[in-house]
Amino acid sequence: MTNPFLNLNYETALESLGKDYYHPVTAAEFPAHILRFRNNELLPILGLNPKLVKDEDFIEAFGKFQSIRPFLALCYHGYQFGQYNPNLGDGRGFLYGQVRGIDNNLYDFGTKGSGQTPYSRFADGRLTLKGGVREVLAGEALHQLGVNTSRTLSLIETGESLWRGDEPSPTRSCVMIRFSRSHIRFGSFERLHYLKRPDLIEKLLNHVIYYYYPNIDVENKDCYAMFYAELVERVAKLTAQWMSSGFCHGVLNTDNMSITGESFDYGPYAFIPDYNFDFTAAYFDYAKRYCYGHQPLMCKLNLEMLQIPLKMVMSPEDLESGLIHFDHLYKDYYHQLMMKKLGIINLEIPETKDLLKETTNLLKESSISYHDFFAELAKSFNHGWLEDSSTILENVPLNSSNLEKWQNLYHQVLTQLPPENKEKIGNILRDSNPQTALLRPVIESVWEAIAYEDNWQPFQELLTKIRKKE
């Protein structure tokens, strides 16, 4: 076998846990295999040289699924929009394999759209091409924004016609490989609680700590408390990353929460156009449960729900004392990230707290979009701003009665920066605020070129822009 993907050194971490956690499945056979996206940026992590990996290698491994390993549909339940659903699990995907990266992390190759499994219920096990294109873009954009996210390794169009209620149908099909730290979810634990199997919870928890929390010793008597406290911190950090990036995940059900604190599964997500807490990404989220502004609250609630299964193997006090820290951890990370978007990495300056408040007030009132505000800051920053506060964003129509107050405060903070950091403001601004945002109309126009003309150039161009932070 010369296919580098088939020759990788696959580990059997999850498989070794035994059949209580998954169901072996086979992949669907597709009428066509057209490689639409290959993520060359991920190949070096796998120790592969992109120049030596052929398109055909992707197609054989991730479209035709030539493999000698078992594919595992993972079992999980979850709270969906607040209701417990025991009829979940990998219904259109499976764990293709697990590989150790050159960074020594273990990574999952997870499929999406690879055919039916015992968990498909009455659905087709397929992924629409538009859904795949949207997930590729989300992963790349979020990664560039510094969000701890899964990414897409490959996207292969598979030549079938799908029928969907939320896309003009028939619509095109694809199969995707998701590259992520793990596909173990909060819902994986919820299922084991439902099955009344504390023994299986303990085994899974030990596995999670061993592979994904390597700084915690599984032999330590406090290891579960330490794990939960670290998970709380990782989720708080992730939520702050979403919020500062203006990202609304859309479906924060517990089956979409990774036990590693990584962001994944991008369905109806959207980046917010205006700074509006009520903005809701999923059209079916009638109650606005997972709107942009609810995300910290919903993530904290999901962490609280996870206490139900974890209580089977650890003390409620340890869980309580872990969750207590969520609010201040979230606030601190959010403050830090928002200051970075303003070009500031010195958080000791006391006025930065007020600056955060005034910036969000300005954004609420102003007619400028969330993205444009920060993109303009990055584009128009000059050292004159440190001399005269009225020149800050002077040519940008902000239309806000708070403008002067905000300019003064921003000026006050900038002038207090130590000289070496004053020099860095422009670079920090440009690094934290890309010029291209993945707003819905941008994705739609890329998709229309694909749908009407089979023109993939706008998609490629958008990826290039996102990756160069242009």
Residues annotated as catalytic (active site), given as ranges: 255
Cis amide linkage into residue 170, ω under 30° from 0: yes
The dihedral region occupied by 71, where left means phi > 0, alpha psi between -120 and 50, and beta the remainder, is beta
CB of 299 to ligand AMP, least distance (A): 16
Give the tokens for residue 236. Answer: 């708080």
Q: Is 358 in the site for Mg ion (CB under 5 A)?
A: no
90 vs 160, beta carbon nearer ligand AMP = 90
| Closest CB 187 distance from Mg ion, rounded Å | 9
Q: Cβ 127 to ligand AMP, closest distance in Å?
A: 7
d(CA 294, CA 194): 27
Count of other CB atoms within 10 angstroms of residue 367? 10
Residue whose beta carbon is closest to ligand AMP: 91
> Which among Mg ion, ligand AMP, none contacts residue 324 (Cβ within 5 to 8 A by kind)?
none
Cβ proximity to ligand AMP: between 63 and 434 the closer is 63
Per-residue mark of binding to Mg ion, 201-240 (x: CB under 5 A): ----------------------------------------
Closer to Mg ion by Cβ: residue 303 or 314: 303
Residue 267 binding partner per list ligand AMP, Mg ion, none, with a CB distance cut-off of 5 to 8 Å that depends on partner kind: ligand AMP
- Token pair, residue 291, equals 């709107």
- Residue closer to ligand AMP (CB basis): 89 or 296: 89
Q: List 185's β-bridge partners, or say none.
A: 258
Picked from Mg ion, ligand AMP, none, the partner binding residue 79 (CB below 5 to 8 A depending on kind) is: none
Q: Which of 216, 213, 272 is nearest to 248 (CA)?
A: 272
> Using CA atoms, how far apart are residues 239 and 244, in angstroms rounded to an integer?
9
What's the CA gap between 81 and 260, in Å, rounded? 22
C-beta of 76 vs 410, nearer to ligand AMP = 76
In whole angstroms, how close is the CB of 180 to Mg ion at the nearest point?
Answer: 12
Question: For the chain, how are helix, strand and coil distributed in percent, rounded to 5?
Answer: 45, 15, 40
Q: Shortest gap between Cβ of 260 and ligand AMP (angstroms)? A: 17
105 token code pair:
């992390």
Structure tokens at 31: 């009428």
Considering Cα of 30, then 31, then 33, then 37, what sign does the dihedral take? Answer: negative
Q: Could you tell me the smallest distance in angstroms from the CB atom of residue 90 to ligand AMP?
A: 5
Q: How far is the CB of 386 from Mg ion (least distance, A)?
A: 47
Gyration radius (Cα) of the chain, Å: 23
- Residue 221 is classified by DSSP as T
> Residue 123 binds what, of Mg ion, ligand AMP, none (CB under 5 to 8 Å, by partner type)?
ligand AMP
Cβ atoms 76, 14 nearer than 8 A: no
- In the complex, least distance from residue 186 CB atom to ligand AMP, rounded to whole angstroms: 13
| Residues that bind ligand AMP in the complex, under the rule CB under 6 A | 88-92, 119-120, 123-126, 256, 265, 267
Phi, psi (rounded to 5 degrees) for 397: -75, 95
Q: Please check whether residue 458 is in contact with residue 452, taking contact to mean a CB–CB distance below 8 angstroms.
A: no
Residue ranges in 1-125 assigned as alpha helix (H): 55-62
Token digits of residue 344: 């500031």
Pick the closer one to Mg ion by CB: 267 or 273.
267
Sequence-ordered alpha helix ranges (H) in 162-314? 186-194, 198-212, 223-245, 295-310
- Tell me how many residues contact Mg ion (CB under 5 A): 2
In the range 242-271, which residues lie near Mg ion by CB under 5 A?
256, 265
Would the CA dihedral through 217, 10, 56, 28 be positive or negative?
negative
- Using CB distances below 5 to 8 A depending on partner kind, what does residue 89 bind out of Mg ion, ligand AMP, none? ligand AMP
126 touches, from ligand AMP, Mg ion, none (C-beta below 5 to 8 Å by class): ligand AMP
Residue with the two structure tokens 């303003």? 342
If the CB atoms of residues 265 and 318 are measured against ligand AMP, the closer one turns out to be: 265
Q: Which is nearer to ligand AMP, 128 or 359 (by Cβ)?
A: 128
Cα 345 to Cα 137, 242, 247, 384: the distances in Å are 29, 19, 22, 20
Q: Residue 134 touches which of Mg ion, ligand AMP, none (CB < 5 to 8 A by kind)?
A: none
Q: Nearer Cβ to ligand AMP, position 40 or 87?
A: 87
Q: How large is the angle between the packed helices 186-194 and 198-212, nearest 10 degrees?
A: 160
Residue nearest to Mg ion (CB): 265
Residue 147, binding choice from Mg ion, ligand AMP, none, Cβ under 5 to 8 Å by partner class: none
- In terms of Cβ atoms closer than 10 Å to its own Cβ (0-12, 13-18, 19+), residue 214 is exposed
In the complex, what is the shortest distance from the CB of residue 110 to Mg ion, in angstroms, rounded to a whole number? Answer: 11
φ/ψ of 367, rounded to 5, equals -85, -5
Q: Kindly list the residues in this chain that would bind Mg ion in the complex (CB under 5 A).
A: 256, 265
